[in-house]
């Protein structure tokens, strides 16, 4: 039996990443219990796990394109799924070293998978459908995270033990990885946009020389740095509104899907959402009022994810785009942004240490860095095209009767 329905394919991809998020965040939420079972109470050991995870994200996203080129997208996605399923060892690891390895390989699988979304979407869906599918894939991690943040206690109660919960997530991931093998994924003879001659070969070196990839990665890096800071440092600073960011991030993503489907222009929503982000990050970081911090977190969560559909749609809409090229583009996009956000996080923590636990300078730093999303929008290409006037539109215009009505309706349709 072969799976050839594109919506079944997307369901497998979507649920695979939701399960990764549940296993990943569930493991993080259970880390205290895991370390206690192993009798590990060293902060250095705990921080080393975080460092290994970060390394997995950087190495994984950078190396994802090489894996895809060598094995093809179908088997590259399968390899990513198997790495994620290795999370099965997290609750069962008999020692710290195996725990560290399981988290590293699991993070590597997640890093691979997020890159492979794009060539899969490009292969199975038309340009008109891609913004919606890209938006759904973008919200997958938040849904998995939200389930764990709000329902992990209930899940543990249902399974009877936190270990069984984590094992269940990993077994489900393994089952979906085998389901993926049933997908009929034959490479197309030519992957090209209408009217454009596709670039047959696009290497890492080509990608590193491409100015677009640097502008694209740098645009996202500041936002990613803040997002990681929000869950890493903000609770330690006494700011605990992160759950509101996650919850309204899901709402923002769904709204972004509808917006991007209706409004083809990509840059305006990125630009003005970026401006709102900076304002609300300042409100969340510096306000002494709890209600204002909560309001800032709600608005921030919405506008962090509202422009994501538009952002991830831009490479899909570039001329001469192929599956190989888009894999390299997103491989570099995530590796550049994760590398820079890791450097920013180091400086954030260093400033806290230098200022004897005072977060003021660090919050100023992250507020400034978050401006990259707004500033970067001025360096990205506008790939969305205005709606063309169709034959049906012209017939409707002609039925309007007078020359003046024709003129007015043409102007109205062109504006849309």
Residues 243 and 333 in one domain: yes
- What integer pLDDT is reported at residue 386 of this predicted model? 64
Please give the residue that has the higher pLDDT: either 167 or 34: 167
Domain boundary pick from 184, 218, 251:
184
Say yes or no to pLDDT of 194 above 60.
Answer: no
Q: How far apart are CA 351 and CA 153, in angstroms?
A: 36
CA-CA distance, 119 to 133, in Å (whole number)?
12
Same domain, 227 and 118: no
Q: Is residue 1, in this structure, part of any structural domain at all?
A: yes
Could you report the per-residue pLDDT of 65-101, keeping only the tens digit for each? 899 988 999 999 999 999 999 988 888 888 888 888 8
> Is residue 280 domain-shared with residue 152, that is, in the same domain?
no
Quick check: 198 and 322 in contact, CB under 8 A? yes
Q: Domain range holding 242? A: 204-385
- Is 208 within the bounds of a domain? yes
Looking at the structure, tell me whether residues 219 and 169 fall in a common domain.
Answer: no
pLDDT at position 407: 46
% of the chain surpassing 70 pLDDT: 85
pLDDT (tens digit, 9 = 90+) per residue, 369-405? 999 999 999 999 999 876 544 444 455 445 544 444 4
Are residues 210 and 127 part of one domain? no
Is 213 in the same domain as 122?
A: no
CA–CA distances in Å: residue 352 to residues 211, 282, 315, 359, 363: 34, 17, 37, 5, 9
Q: How many folded domains does the chain comprise?
A: 2
pLDDT per residue as tens digits for the range 93-123: 888 888 888 888 998 999 999 999 999 999 9
In a domain, 411, yes or no: no
| Boundary residue ending a domain (184, 212, 227) | 184
Q: What Cα–Cα distance (Å) separates residue 59 from each residue in 64, 187, 220, 328, 331?
A: 8, 26, 18, 14, 10
Give the mean pLDDT of 285-312. Answer: 93
Could you tell me the two tokens for 371?
């401006």
Q: Indicate the average pLDDT of the chain.
A: 84
Pairwise CA distance, residues 272 & 254, whole Å: 18
Tokens for 384, please give them: 């969305």
User: Is residue 416, in this structure, part of any structural domain at all?
Assistant: no
Q: What pLDDT is stored for residue 67 in this prediction?
A: 92
Supply the pLDDT for residue 384: 81
Is 136 domain-assigned? Answer: yes
Q: Whole-angstrom Cα distance, residue 187 to residue 175?
A: 24
Q: Answer yes or no: do 149 and 220 share one domain.
A: no
Query: pTM (2 decimals)?
Result: 0.81
* Residue 390 within any structural domain of the chain: no
What does the pLDDT read at residue 249? 87
Same domain, 55 and 172: yes
Per-residue pLDDT for 189 more than 70? no
Q: Within this chain, do residues 279 and 238 fall inside the same structural domain, yes or no?
A: yes
Q: How far apart are CA 258 and CA 309, in angstroms?
A: 9
Same domain, 144 and 286: no
- The answer to whether position 194 is within a domain reads no
Residue 221 has pLDDT above 60, yes or no: yes
Is the residue at 193 inside a domain? no
pLDDT, residue 414, reads 47
**Do 117 and 13 form a contact (C-beta atoms < 8 A)?**
yes
Are residues 38 and 166 part of one domain?
Answer: yes
What CATH code is carried by the domain that includes residue 36?
Answer: 1.20.1250.20
The band of 190, judged by pLDDT with boundaries at 50, 70 and 90, is very low
What are the tens digits of pLDDT across the range 8-32? 999 999 999 999 999 888 887 776 7
Q: Are residues 12 and 112 in the same domain?
A: yes
């Amino acid at each position: 039996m072969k799976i050839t329905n594109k919506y079944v394919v997307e369901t497998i991809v979507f649920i695979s990443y939701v399960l990764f998020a549940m296993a990943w965040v569930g493991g993080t939420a259970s880390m205290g219990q895991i370390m206690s079972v192993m009798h590990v109470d060293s902060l250095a050991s705990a921080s080393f796990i975080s460092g290994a995870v970060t390394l997995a994200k950087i190495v994984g996203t950078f190396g994802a394109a090489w894996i895809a080129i060598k094995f093809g997208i179908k088997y590259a996605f399968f390899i990513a799924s198997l790495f994620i399923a290795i999370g099965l060892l997290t609750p069962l690891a008999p020692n710290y070293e195996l725990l560290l390895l399981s988290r590293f390989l699991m993070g590597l699988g997640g890093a691979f998978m997020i890159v492979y979304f794009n060539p899969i979407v490009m292969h199975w869906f038309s340009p008109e459908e891609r913004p919606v599918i890209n938006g759904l894939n973008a919200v997958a991690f938040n849904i998995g995270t939200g389930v764990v943040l709000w329902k992990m206690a209930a899940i543990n109660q249902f399974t009877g033990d936190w270990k069984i919960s984590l094992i269940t997530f990993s077994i489900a991931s393994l089952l979906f990885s085998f389901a993926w093998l049933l997908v009929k994924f034959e490479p197309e003879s030519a992957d090209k946009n209408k009217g454009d001659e596709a670039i047959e070969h696009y290497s890492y070196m080509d990608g590193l020389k491409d100015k677009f990839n640097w502008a694209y990665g740098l645009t996202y890096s500041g936002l990613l740095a803040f997002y990681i800071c929000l869950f890493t440092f903000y609770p330690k600073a006494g700011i605990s509104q992160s759950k509101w960011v996650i919850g309204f991030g899901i709402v923002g993503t769904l709204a972004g899907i509808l917006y991007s489907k209706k409004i083809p222009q990509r840059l305006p929503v990125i630009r003005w959402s970026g401006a709102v982000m900076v304002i609300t990050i300042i409100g969340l970081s510096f306000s002494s009022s709890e209600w204002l911090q909560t309001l800032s977190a709600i608005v921030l969560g919405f506008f962090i994810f509202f422009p994501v559909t538009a952002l991830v749609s831009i490479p899909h809409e570039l001329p001469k785009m192929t599956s190989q090229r888009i894999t390299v583009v997103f491989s570099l996009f995530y590796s550049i942004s994760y590398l820079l956000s890791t450097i920013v996080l180091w400086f954030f923590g260093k400033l806290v240490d230098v200022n004897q636990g005072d977060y003021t300078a660090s919050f100023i730093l992250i507020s400034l860095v978050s401006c990259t999303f707004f500033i970067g929008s001025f360096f990205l290409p506008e790939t969305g095209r205005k709606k063309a006037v169709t034959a049906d539109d012209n017939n409707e215009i002609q039925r309007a009767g007078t020359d003046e009505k024709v003129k007015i309706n043409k102007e109205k349709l062109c504006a849309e």
